[in-house]
Structures are given as C-alpha cells and as structure tokens.
Amino acid sequence: MEVQGYAQFNAFIDAVIGGTGTYSGTNGLSDLVTGSSPTFNFVQNVEESDNNDANAPIKPVPYTGNFDQWQYYYLYLITDSLNTLGFSPSPGAWPIVIDD
C-alpha cells in the first residue's frame, strides 16, 4: 500500500538527488553524490517491515534467499551505504550481518 503523499515526496527526493529544477548545482545534493568519491549516499525504496521475519526481503545478488530477520535487511542497507562512501572499518568497528 502506498502512503498518501509518498509519490510527491519521492519526486522531491529525486529532484534533490538529481540536481534538477530549483535543486540544481549546490542547491541540492547532486554535487555530493557524483564523482569517484561521493560524500552522500541515498537508499530509496526501502521496504517497510510488517514485523514478521518470515516476510523479510530477498537478499541482493550474489546472496541467496531471504534475510532471516528484518533487522538484518536494514543493517545490510546501512553497511552497504557506508561501504559505498568508502569506509573500510577495522574488524568490530560496526556490526555486520552474519546470516545463514
């Protein structure tokens, strides 16, 4: 079910990310998400938990199956974003998903 107003919010975020309209150049975030060293990362279309781990999302390629828990899905998205931004944590610096 789409939340009322979500389409407008998504269009707004797309404009900010893409640097279109009044959000061009340094008026948006497009100058921070492009290039070889982005300083900002967006994750869109995040699935909303229904509090039933049996319905957790499918893991991204190259992994198989579904996440065992919703919290692992969200932790994966956060960790992937940090890695995209170039963070290379030392072991134990932040949680990682160890999912079977």
Residues 6+ apart with CB under 8 A from 60: 76
Contact 50, 61 (CB under 8 A): no
Query: Do 50 and 96 reside in the same domain of the chain?
Result: yes
The predicted-structure confidence for 43-96, as pLDDT tens digits, reads as follows 878 899 999 999 999 998 888 899 999 999 999 898 888 888 887 777 767 666
Query: Do 56 and 27 reside in the same domain of the chain?
Result: no
Query: Do 69 and 87 reside in the same domain of the chain?
Result: yes
Q: Which residues pair with 66 in a beta bridge?
A: 58
pLDDT of 52? 96
Query: Do 27 and 50 reside in the same domain of the chain?
Result: no
> In the chain, how many domains are there?
2
**Residue 98: CA atoms inside 13 Å, Cβ hemisphere, count?**
3
Residue type, 10: N
Query: Do 38 and 50 reside in the same domain of the chain?
Result: no
What is the distance between the alpha carbons of residues 98 and 87, in angstroms, rounded to a whole number?
Answer: 19
The pTM score is 0.69
Q: Which domain holds residue 34?
A: 1-42
Query: Do 34 and 50 reside in the same domain of the chain?
Result: no
